[in-house]
Amino acid sequence: MTGLAEGATRQAPPLELEQALALYRMMVLIRRFEDTVQLLFQRGEVPGTTHLYSGQEAVATGVASILERQDRVAGTYRGHGHALSLGVEPQALLDEMLGRATGVCGGRAGSMNVIDLAHGLMGCYGIVGGSIGAATGAALALKRSGGVAVAYFGEGATNQGYFHECLNFAKVHNLPALYVCENNLYGEFTPMEDVTAGSILARAQTLELPAQSIDGNDLWAVRDAAAAAVARARAGGGPQFIEALTYRFVGHSRSDPGAYRKPGELDAWRERDPLKLTRAGILERYDEAEEAQLDAADADVERQLEQMIAAGLAAPYPTPGPAAEFKAQ
């Protein structure tokens, strides 16, 4: 691993209690949003398919907390958490899931293809690893503006040819890109060890990218790693790589019960639920923190989701015909 570029920091700026509570609330919002999408899907209200982010909330929340307005993000088809963490309006995102005209993309993108350029979201990509190419291209442009492009992708994408091609291109051209591998141990229904040889981290290190493997369920670990990586990239240190070790609590998609999991594996990971860890971390790190503040955040999110469901189901469907302008434009 190379040293820090000039101006880079080794740790994220310390959070005030209110900031920490806001990040906890964001993680709760992502979790409850996904629960809501699943509920509405089971009721036949959500067209198409869904891929939920439940269990991985600390990754998107931690990385997004470091980014600036000029930065750009490419998410995955499991991208609701990526979108919300960037500030995409929750009601507009839910309306998009419901296919309503008030959705962030006018009800025409659905679950996997959300775009909101106003919040730096270049898109969520249904193609495995499609985010890698998109972020690499964006980084080529952002090299002139001081921005950083972030690509989220799963461990399965590292077996694609363009993973190596894009990282090689980014290294050769010293692009301001951050590649975040959300390693949740399963590529759809297949355990990583059945199809992936060697170390994912070593693949980036072979190309001499500064690379780090972290606990993706630890919000503070994610923030520290992202802060250092983004600072290096922004200061001219070239592309960076983070492997965030995490776990999805749900199946690959709405049709997957997850029966292939090893006995006891899900229960073991639930003991390291990122919401639980963040809640405990706040109480441990801040003397003035109280359980009541965290409970209030939980309750506030529940109220918000109840109102969002009612508003979303009452919203109109898009008018048939050519796509109207939508917020991302």
**Each residue's pLDDT tens digit, 227-274:** 999 999 999 999 999 999 998 877 666 666 667 778 887 788 889 999
What is the pLDDT confidence band of residue 58, given thresholds at 50, 70 and 90?
A: very high
8: pLDDT strictly greater than 60? no
Which has more pLDDT, 299 or 8?
Answer: 299
CA distance 33 to 221: 24
* Cα distances (Å, whole numbers) of residue 30 to 20, 61, 123, 211, 301: 16, 9, 18, 27, 10
- Please give the model's pTM, rounded to 2 decimal places: 0.91
Return the percentage of the chain with pLDDT > 70, whole number. 89
pLDDT (0 to 100) of residue 229: 98
What is the pLDDT confidence band of residue 190, given thresholds at 50, 70 and 90?
A: confident
CA angle 11, 12, 17 (to 5 degrees): 130
Name the H helices within the chain.
17-42, 57-64, 80-85, 90-97, 130-142, 161-172, 200-206, 219-234, 265-270, 274-285, 291-314
Span 17-26, average pLDDT: 98
Instruction: Report the top-level CATH class of 17-256+268-285+294-309.
Output: alpha beta
pLDDT (0 to 100) of residue 329: 43
189: pLDDT strictly greater than 80? no
Residue 4 CA neighbour count, 13 Å, CB half: 13
pLDDT (0 to 100) of residue 166: 97
Span 98-126, average pLDDT: 94
Residue 101 tokens read as 């005209």
pLDDT (0 to 100) of residue 232: 98
Which has more pLDDT, 223 or 247?
Answer: 223
What is the pLDDT confidence band of residue 3, given thresholds at 50, 70 and 90?
A: very low
pLDDT tens across 147-185, in order?
Answer: 999 999 998 889 889 899 999 999 999 999 999 999 987
94 three-class SS: helix
Span 297-311, average pLDDT: 98
Question: 186: which residues sit within 8 A by CB, 6+ positions away?
Answer: 192, 248, 252, 260
pLDDT (0 to 100) of residue 4: 46
Nearest to 274 by CA among 297, 300, 245: 245
316: pLDDT strictly greater than 90? yes
